Amino acid sequence: MSYQLWLEYSRSIVSIALLSVSSIQDVRSREIDDRVWIVLLASALLLNMLGVFQGSVEPAWWLVFTGLQSLLFLLLYYGGVYGGADAKSLMCLSLMYPSSPTGFLIELSTGRLPVAFSTLNNALMLTMLYLPANLIWNLSVRLKGAELFKGLEKEGFLRRAAALMLLRKVRFSQYCSENSRFLLAEKRSRSGLRRIVFSRRINGDEAEQVFNSDEHVFASFLMPLQVLVLLGLLTRLFYGDILLSISLLIVSRFAAGL
């Protein structure tokens, strides 16, 4: 086995192992120990410094690509796309997997982008699976006898359709017992009018005053995004970039039709 191939395998093994740890923690508590990122960061520095000395890593381009990707991940974090742990994991991956202009062009021709960026692309594409998952959840709740839009008759068709795909109907008691996994997405005014709220978190103390424990309410399920980051990385390593591959396929089909 060549030294460069050994480095590639080492990067993948370390990244997959530590993202597996972060995924387990994310599923259990939605909180991830910062020691995971410290170990991943230290491993990335060690492995790629070995690559610099061996000649397979260009230090200047390694830092440039790491800096550009990390800046993007920070901007998305401050834009509210994901949480701090998700930004840290992607920034660590940008440091773990070095790139260069030549390597970028070679990978682009095969439907791949830099590993960290493709990991994010793949993770965001995989979040689409939550739309049918939420719909199936809500339909199962309806089949069990719960009225999905009881008290929400004044909500428009589009808002109801969005709620079915983006939110989950749960008992208020379940929301209270698992509020680390859910954000309340429904509010009732003092006059009794209920509204679906997509954009902000409702204070739990306020909500407890207006909902009974056995009532069903819409809530936003907090995705354990680290699981999707792990799956996104695995997809990138063994397949490529889902979004880029779809885009290239569309372009090729369009060009063939001209």
Of residues 182, 181, 178, 212, the one with CA closest to residue 197:
182
Concatenated DSSP letters of 98-122? ---HHHHHHHHHTT---HHHHHHHH
pLDDT score of 200: 58
Q: Mean pLDDT in each 10-residue stretch from start to end of the chain (258 residues)?
A: 84 97 92 95 96 92 96 93 93 95 85 92 93 95 91 89 94 85 83 77 51 88 93 94 85 74
Q: What b/e string do you get for 191-214 counting C-beta neighbours within 10 Å, with b at 16 or more?
A: eeebebbeeeebeeeebeebbeee
pLDDT score of 30: 84
Residue range 13-56, pLDDT digits in tens: 999 999 999 999 999 888 899 999 999 999 999 999 999 998 88
Contact 229, 123 (CB under 8 A): yes
pLDDT score of 1: 61
pLDDT score of 256: 72
pLDDT score of 208: 45
pLDDT score of 111: 77
CA distances, 243 to each of 6, 8, 76, 127, 185 (Å):
29, 24, 18, 13, 30
Residue range 102-132, pLDDT digits in tens: 888 888 877 789 999 999 999 999 999 999 9
Of residues 232, 250, 204, the one with CA closest to residue 120:
232
Q: Quote the CA–CA distance of 65 and 77 in Å, as a whole number.
A: 18
pLDDT score of 159: 92
Of residues 162, 157, 161, 167, the one with CA closest to residue 134:
167
pLDDT score of 97: 96
